[in-house]
Amino acid sequence: MKQKIMAICDTEEAYAFRLAEYLLEKGRLPFALHLFTEVEQLRCLMEQEEIAILLIAENAFKRMKEEYVRKKVLQLFVLQENEAQEREDLCCISKYQSPDLILQRVFEAAEGLSDWGLGNATVTWETKMIGMYSPVKRCLQTSFALTLGQMLAKKHKTIYLNFEYYSGLGQLLRRDFSADMMDVMYYFQCAKEKLAMRLPSILQNINGLDYIPPIQSPLSLGEVHGGQWVKLCRDIGQIGQYEYIILDLDDGINGLFELLGQCYKIYTITGKDSFAAAKMNQYEQVLRLNQLEEIAEKTVKCSFPIFHNLPENLEMMTHGELAEYVRSIAEEDIYGR
C-alpha cells in the first residue's frame, strides 16, 4: 500500500519548520510529511500526487485556486492568523495555538479518511514487553521502570505504561493530562479503526521515553480484563513500532498474571526485612499453586542497596546511583553483555 502524504505549506519559514519538526517527533502517523515554504512547490506536488492532509497558511491558501486545491486534497486545514475571518465552509485552525491542539484538531477532523486503522498494517512488528512487578511496596519499582525505560529509549523505540492505582505521575511531572490509558482503551474497544490515529495525540514523552498518562480514576481499572490489556499492548507496539514496552504493574489490575505471562523479562524488587521476605514467599507460592512457573522462570529478582541520592527530576533518571545499578542489570539481562 502506498504511503499517504501529509503536507505543510507556510511562507513563514521558521514557523513551518517548527510545526513540521513537532509533527515528526509527536505525530507518528502512517504518512510521509512534505514541507513547503513556497506555493509553487506545493503546486508541483499536487500535479503528481493526491494529498491526504494539507495544513496551509491562510496567506498561502489565498494565492491558490481553491477549487483546484479541494480536488487534490482529501482533508484541508487552513492555518488562520485572524480568527474573525473564519469561514464555515473551511476547516480552519488558529495558527498560533499550541501545536498539541493543532495536532488534536487534525486527528478529530481526519477520522473520516479511510485505510488509516491498525487493521491495514501489512507488517507485523515484534515488540518485547518487560514487566515490573513486586508484592513488596514502596520498593522503587516505578523509579526502576522509568530509569530502564529512559535508558532503552536512547537506542530503541520504547514506551512506558503505568498501571498503578495512584501513580501521582502528573503531579511529579507537573503536567495536566487531557486523556489517559482509559481513553486509549475506549478507542481499542469501541472504535479500533481510529486507534492508530488517536494514539499519537495522547502520547507524552519524558527524556525520549514515550508514555501514555496513567489512569486517573482507579475504579476504571476493574472494568477491563487481562486479555484486553494484552491485546491493547500488542496493538500499541504495532502502531508505534516499539521495540520495548515497559509495564509498571500493580495488584489492582485485572489480568496481572496474563500480562506477566506475555513479558519476555520480569523484574521483581525484593526487600531485606522479614515482611518483604514473607510477601515474596507467598507470591511465589501463588505462582506454583496456579502452575505459573513460566512467570517465575522469566523473573529477575533485584535486591537494591541503599541509595543516598535519587533524582527529584524524573527526566534525570539516567543519572546517579540508581541509574548505575539499573545500567548494569540492563547490560547483563537485556543486552547479554
The structure's pTM equals 0.70
Q: Which neighbouring-strand residues pair with 273?
A: none
pLDDT at 160: 97
pLDDT at 224: 87
pLDDT at 28: 58
The 3-class secondary structure across 203-272, one letter per residue, is CEEECCEEEECCCCCHHHHHHCCHHHHHHHHHHHHHHHCCCEEEEECCCCCCCHHHHHHHCCEEEEEECC
Euclidean distance between CA atoms 286 and 118, whole angstroms: 37
Q: Which neighbouring-strand residues pair with 142?
A: none
For the stretch 55-72, pLDDT in tens is: 999 999 999 988 889 888
Q: Among 26-30, 62-66, 185-189, 286-290, whose mean pLDDT is lowest? A: 26-30
Helix, strand or coil for residue 6? strand
Query: What are the CA-CA distances from residue 197 to residues 27, 43, 79, 107, 122 (Å)?
Result: 9, 27, 20, 6, 17
Closest CA to 266 of 240, 237, 292, 291: 292
Closest CA to 182 of 138, 229, 142: 229
Three cell numbers written together for 258: 496474563
Three cell numbers written together for 110: 481526519
Residue 86 — very low, low, confident or very high, per pLDDT cuts 50/70/90?
Answer: low
Euclidean distance between CA atoms 327 and 322, whole angstroms: 8
Q: Evaluate whether 113 touches 52 at the Cβ level (below 8 Å).
A: yes
Residue 52 — very low, low, confident or very high, per pLDDT cuts 50/70/90?
Answer: confident
Q: Which residue in this structure is represented by grid cell 505549506?
A: 9
Euclidean distance between CA atoms 123 and 146, whole angstroms: 29
Q: Evaluate whether 1 touches 120 at the Cβ level (below 8 Å).
A: yes
Between these two residues, 230 and 222, which has the higher pLDDT value? 230
Predicted confidence (pLDDT) at residue 47 exceeds the cutoff of 80? yes
For the stretch 227-263, pLDDT in tens is: 999 999 999 998 888 999 999 999 888 899 999 999 9
Residue 238 has phi, psi (to 5 degrees) of -70, -45
- Who contacts 103 (Cβ-Cβ below 8 Å, separation ≥6)? 22, 23, 26, 27, 200, 201
Between these two residues, 84 and 66, which has the higher pLDDT value? 66
> Helices 321-333 & 141-153, crossing angle to 10 degrees?
70
Q: How many residues are present in the chain?
A: 337
Q: How many CB atoms lie within 10 A of CB 275?
A: 10
- Who contacts 161 (Cβ-Cβ below 8 Å, separation ≥6)? 181, 211, 212, 233, 236, 245, 246, 247, 248
Residue 30 — very low, low, confident or very high, per pLDDT cuts 50/70/90?
Answer: low
User: What percent of the chain has a predicted confidence (pLDDT) above 70?
Assistant: 89
Q: Among 61-65, 217-221, 293-297, whose mean pLDDT is lowest? A: 217-221
> Helices 195-202 & 99-109, crossing angle to 10 degrees?
170
User: Residue 260's Cα: distance from chain center in Å?
Assistant: 20
Strand extents, DSSP E, the chain: 4-9, 31-36, 51-57, 73-80, 92-94, 128-132, 158-162, 204-206, 209-212, 244-248, 265-270, 299-303
